[in-house]
């Protein structure tokens, strides 16, 4: 089959969001997106949050590659990271084509990539991880590349560091690696979602404020200026990585929870120790910290854990069996006036009317601050990695579709 | 003179508040109040804030020592720290009496100590440093002890660690020391107030919220749990101490300012890294951080520096020549509706109506948050150490007076 015909080649995939429990913060190489330390995340269910991406290529397309995100054409040439991903994927396709001349020369065709998130940007969730994971997975499927998710993670990493962890489901480690070329800086599955499927997460979306410092810039500032950061990267995180992998393998929620909370706090501590200081958590975030500690104290065991990325939103992990205690209490605090009490993970809470923990055991100021400051919740849980689907965003004749 | 007559012996002193620029956080010995690291503070003028304390003793008093703070009798026996201070001071007096039999046996007489602050407790200023410094200085005066302020600081330290720095004016270091008995853990003057008298401070008193974690408890938690704290104590602070002493000796405000801000941030970072995490700064504190950075950026040089103790109040240091730029801008932000725009340091600002820095160069959200969240300002500057006065709080016949 010649590549110069009017065929439109397509492949479509979904990709999940992931939320780190051991945080990625700090690059040892900014171009290659090589981190100063390993990290570990939970892949969130695509029943709640997912990116859907179709990669297509055709001789009928304009000669420049195109990328359309949520209906908006992107300037691909100004995104070195996107270019790096596409270039790596094309090289792998070229290698295939050079060993098997029967393959269509897709590597020579312009790409049209169309991507949509099923969650609003306003949710304040970092969509770049899911976005780059979906892009890499979709093009890899289009090119029928034989590389494993682990190998593809090396490419996705160059798009957005944390994207490498969204190529797999369940509990995923990103090994920092040691090589200068980054070839050993890869994601790998620590345990599949099926190993510990009871993990749940509730995202408290904090009323949007402008994000002060973009995370790439923030990371560079921290690495360059925080006098505490080196201790975190070289000593604290390696210990925590080993400990949390053990906790996950043993399904030891209290250990998982404490490591998650401490690592979030330690990461934000190094942000505060940066110069100038970087603050991502605000009073609403702190109220979420408070209620998590109060719930755990009231129950007498660790049933929930908070974590915060480079923004004020709280993600609270808990196990399904403790849904009423944790999500039920959050529901009682926020009331159902807050958006988001629906979706596939809501069933267990539908009929819960009383808080799992009496609100008089929760700091009353924190309750007020949360009620005022949280604009939306997202109920979700651990989930699978990217899935190939036929729900294409490009028609068989190459037109952009929308969902 | 026999000690059993009806004489009332009195001595009265003032003592200042001090605000650390390199923070004391962490005890290596909780009983002796020995710190994990050295610290350095600016003694604030007693024209703004001072404790006034009269120490008296008499055979006509009840046999148990008495302490009256702000009109309220204290249970001295339950305060190990007060007992430790009084015991040390009595021993020194006894030593004097044993070498000179002509001295009245004051060490055998009950004490009556009366102390008043000229600032409201609601101001949220740690009064324990000034309080213990005044107590030690007053009793030392009463006993006519020959010990230097440096030597007395060893005693005041046992009352409240930072109290040792309030026995001197100007720029005061508290050397952590190395000996187990704490005998080398002493305050010493780095430079007198007259060396750099232009230093000014504005305290932004943040609307009172309950303080979550008392500082002694917080310190112990941080030392025991923060994985970043050891780096701060053993490596970061020693470097900063050397650098800030040089900055003070050179009257290098930009260097002084950056070290001050970074050390405050680093201290709060280790609080956040503690388990459970400790938060003293809130959104109002963060707004103060923001306006300080914005003012410095707008002016193009470092004219002000923030620092935060174990609470949300901001202290902003600046030089007198920059009063309009700094305090004038704060005045424009808060408006004169905020309490405290008066006192001896206000003259230079009385006629300032426009902000020194155009408010459109200051983050507008930070302006709103500050305006709503600051309940009072205190304008002050570097000042002298304790001063003996005749303004006694105990009458010649032993009665408690009040001011």
Minimum distance, in Å, between the CA of residue A228 and any CA atom of chain B:
6
> Residue B22 and residue B371: Cα distance in Å, rounded?
28
**3.40.190.80, 2.60.120.10, 3.30.70.2860, 3.30.70.890: CATH of B199-381:** 3.30.70.890
Does residue B260 contact residue B302 with C-beta atoms inside 8 Å?
no
Q: Do B228 and A270 touch (CB under 8 A)?
A: yes
Mutate to test the interface with A, among B211, B265, B373 (most CBs of A within 10 A): B265
B 85-114 near A (Cβ less than 8 A): none
A255 and chain B in contact, CB less than 8 A: no
Which residue of chain A is at minimal alpha-carbon distance from B265? A273
Q: What are the pLDDT tens digits along chain B (403 aa)?
A: 444 589 999 999 999 999 999 999 999 999 999 999 999 999 999 999 999 999 999 999 999 999 999 999 999 999 999 999 999 999 999 999 999 999 999 999 999 999 999 887 655 676 889 999 999 999 999 999 999 999 999 999 999 999 999 999 999 999 999 999 999 999 999 999 999 999 999 999 997 666 667 888 999 999 999 999 999 999 999 999 999 999 999 999 999 999 999 999 999 999 999 999 999 999 999 999 999 999 999 999 999 999 999 999 999 999 999 999 999 999 999 988 888 998 899 988 888 878 889 999 999 999 999 999 999 999 999 999 999 999 999 999 999 997 6
Q: Alpha-carbon torsion B162, B166, B172, B177, what sign?
A: negative
A234 and chain B in contact, CB less than 8 A: no
Q: What share of chain A is helix, strand, coil (3-state, %, to 5)?
A: 40, 20, 35
A83 against B339, higher pLDDT = A83
Mutate to test the interface with B, among A212, A231, A241, A277 (most CBs of B within 10 A): A277
Q: How does pLDDT run across A13-66, given as a tens digit for each residue?
A: 999 999 999 999 999 999 999 999 999 999 999 999 999 999 999 999 999 999
Q: Collect all residues of chain B within an 8 Å Cβ-Cβ radius of residue A266.
A: 227-228, 273
Mutate to test the interface with A, among B257, B277, B308 (most CBs of A within 10 A): B277
pTM of the model: 0.94
Which residue of chain A is at minimal alpha-carbon distance from B266? A273
Residues of chain A with CATH 3.30.230.10: 9-194
Q: Which of the four pLDDT bands, split at 50, 70 and 90, describes residue A123?
A: low
Which residue of chain B is at minimal alpha-carbon distance from A293? B276
Considering only CB atoms, B272 lies closest to which of A209, A268, A283, namely A268
Mutate to test the interface with B, among A211, A265, A289, A364 (most CBs of B within 10 A): A265
Considering only CB atoms, A262 lies closest to which of B275, B279, B283, namely B275
pLDDT at residue B211, as a whole number: 61
Q: Do A272 and B265 touch (CB under 8 A)?
A: yes
Checking if the pLDDT of A2 tops 60, the result is no
Minimum distance, in Å, between the CA of residue B40 and any CA atom of chain A:
19
> Residue B212 and residue B311: Cα distance in Å, rounded?
9
Q: Which is nearest to A129 in space by CA: A24, A204, A48, A262?
A: A24
DSSP letters of A320-369? Answer: GGGHIIIIIHHHHHH-TTSBT--STT-GGGTT--S-SS-GGGS-HHHHHH
> Residue A145 and residue A93: Cα distance in Å, rounded?
7
Q: Collect all residues of chain B within an 8 Å Cβ-Cβ radius of residue A260.
A: none
Considering only CB atoms, A232 lies closest to which of B228, B266, B279, namely B228
DSSP letters of B14-58? Answer: EEE-EEEEE----EEETTTTEESS-EEEEEBPTTTSEEEEEEEEE
Checking if the pLDDT of A3 tops 50, the result is no
pLDDT at residue B1, as a whole number: 46
Sheet holding A171-174, edge to edge: A18-22, A39-43, A171-174, A187-191
Checking if the pLDDT of A94 tops 70, the result is yes
Considering only CB atoms, A272 lies closest to which of B258, B269, B274, namely B269
pLDDT at residue A4, as a whole number: 55
Residues A150-158 have a mean pLDDT of 97
Minimum distance, in Å, between the CA of residue B124 and any CA atom of chain A:
19
Tokens matching residue A144: 């029928």
Q: Do B272 and A275 touch (CB under 8 A)?
A: no
Residue owning tokens 């390199």: B22
Minimum distance, in Å, between the CA of residue A74 and any CA atom of chain B:
31
Q: Strand locations in B258-326, DSSP E?
A: 304-307, 314-319
User: For a pLDDT cut of 70, what percent of chain A falls above it?
Assistant: 96
pLDDT at residue B336, as a whole number: 85
B294 and chain A in contact, CB less than 8 A: no
Does residue A312 contact residue A286 with C-beta atoms inside 8 Å?
no
A293 and chain B in contact, CB less than 8 A: yes
pLDDT at residue B316, as a whole number: 98
> Residue B362 and residue B353: Cα distance in Å, rounded?
17
Residues A73-89 have a mean pLDDT of 96
Q: Do A266 and B293 touch (CB under 8 A)?
A: no
Residue owning tokens 């990267």: A233
Which residue of chain A is at minimal alpha-carbon distance from B225? A262
Q: How does pLDDT run across A332-351, given as a tens digit for each residue?
A: 999 888 889 988 899 888 88
Q: Do B273 and A258 touch (CB under 8 A)?
A: no
User: For a pLDDT cut of 90, what percent of chain A falls above it?
Assistant: 88
Considering only CB atoms, B279 lies closest to which of A209, A227, A286, namely A286
| Cβ-based contacts under 8 A for chains A and B | 79
Residues of chain A with CATH 3.30.70.890: 199-381
pLDDT at residue A336, as a whole number: 85
Q: Do A227 and B209 touch (CB under 8 A)?
A: no
Question: ∠ at Cα A40 (A51, A241), nearest 5°?
Answer: 180
- Across chain A, mean pLDDT equals 94
Residue B272: what are its φ and ψ, rounded to 5°? -65, -30
Residues A58-84 have a mean pLDDT of 95
Give chain B's length.
403
Q: Do B236 and A228 touch (CB under 8 A)?
A: yes
Q: Do B293 and A286 touch (CB under 8 A)?
A: no
Beta partners for residue B58, in sequence order? B8
Considering only CB atoms, B265 lies closest to which of A209, A265, A277, namely A277
Q: Domain A9-194 class?
A: alpha beta
A236 and chain B in contact, CB less than 8 A: yes
Q: Which is nearest to A26 in space by CA: A305, A292, A228?
A: A228
Q: Collect all residues of chain B within an 8 Å Cβ-Cβ radius of residue A365.
A: 209
pLDDT at residue A359, as a whole number: 93
pLDDT at residue B43, as a whole number: 98
A240 against A344, higher pLDDT = A240
Checking if the pLDDT of A122 tops 70, the result is no
């Amino acid at each position: 089959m010649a590549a110069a015909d009017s065929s439109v080649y397509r492949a479509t995939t979904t990709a999940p969001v992931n939320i780190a429990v051991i945080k990625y913060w700090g690059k040892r190489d900014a171009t290659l997106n090589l981190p100063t330390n390993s990290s570990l995340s939970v892949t969130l269910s695509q029943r709640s949050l997912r990116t859907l991406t179709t990669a297509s290529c055709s001789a009928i397309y304009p000669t420049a590659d195109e990328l359309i995100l949520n209906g908006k054409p992107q300037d691909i040439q100004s995104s070195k990271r996107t270019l790096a991903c596409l270039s790596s994927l094309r090289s792998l396709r070229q290698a295939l084509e050079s060993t098997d001349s029967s393959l269509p020369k897709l590597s020579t065709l312009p790409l049209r990539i169309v991507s949509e998130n099923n969650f609003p940007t306003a949710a304040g969730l970092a969509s770049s991880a899911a976005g780059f994971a979906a892009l890499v997975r979709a093009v890899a499927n289009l090119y029928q590349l034989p590389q494993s998710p682990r190998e593809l993670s090396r490419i996705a990493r160059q798009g957005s560091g944390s994207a490498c962890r969204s190529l797999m489901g369940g509990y995923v480690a990103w090994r920092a690696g040691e090589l200068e070329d980054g070839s050993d800086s890869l994601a790998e599955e620590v345990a599949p979602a099926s190993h510990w499927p009871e993990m749940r997460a509730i995202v408290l979306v904090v009323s949007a404020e402008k994000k002060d410092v973009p995370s790439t810039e923030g990371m560079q500032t921290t690495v360059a200026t925080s006098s505490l950061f080196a201790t975190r990267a070289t000593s604290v995180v390696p210990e925590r990585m080993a400990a949390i992998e053990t906790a996950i393998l043993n399904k030891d929620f209290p250990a998982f929870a404490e490591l998650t909370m401490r690592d979030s706090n330690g990461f934000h501590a190094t942000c505060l120790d940066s110069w100038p200081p970087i603050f991502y958590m605000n009073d609403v975030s702190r109220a979420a910290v408070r209620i998590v500690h109060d719930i755990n104290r009231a129950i007498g065991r660790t049933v929930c854990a908070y974590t915060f990325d480079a923004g004020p939103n709280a993600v609270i992990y808990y196990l399904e069996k403790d849904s009423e205690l944790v999500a039920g209490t959050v529901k009682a605090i926020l009331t159902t006036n807050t958006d988001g009490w629906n979706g596939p993970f809501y069933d267990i809470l539908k009929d819960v009317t009383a808080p799992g923990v009496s609100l008089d055991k929760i700091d009353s100021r924190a309750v007020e601050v949360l009620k005022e400051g949280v604009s939306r919740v997202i109920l979700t849980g651990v989930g699978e990695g990217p899935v190939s689907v036929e729900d294409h965003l490009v028609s068989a004749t190459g037109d952009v579709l929308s969902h």
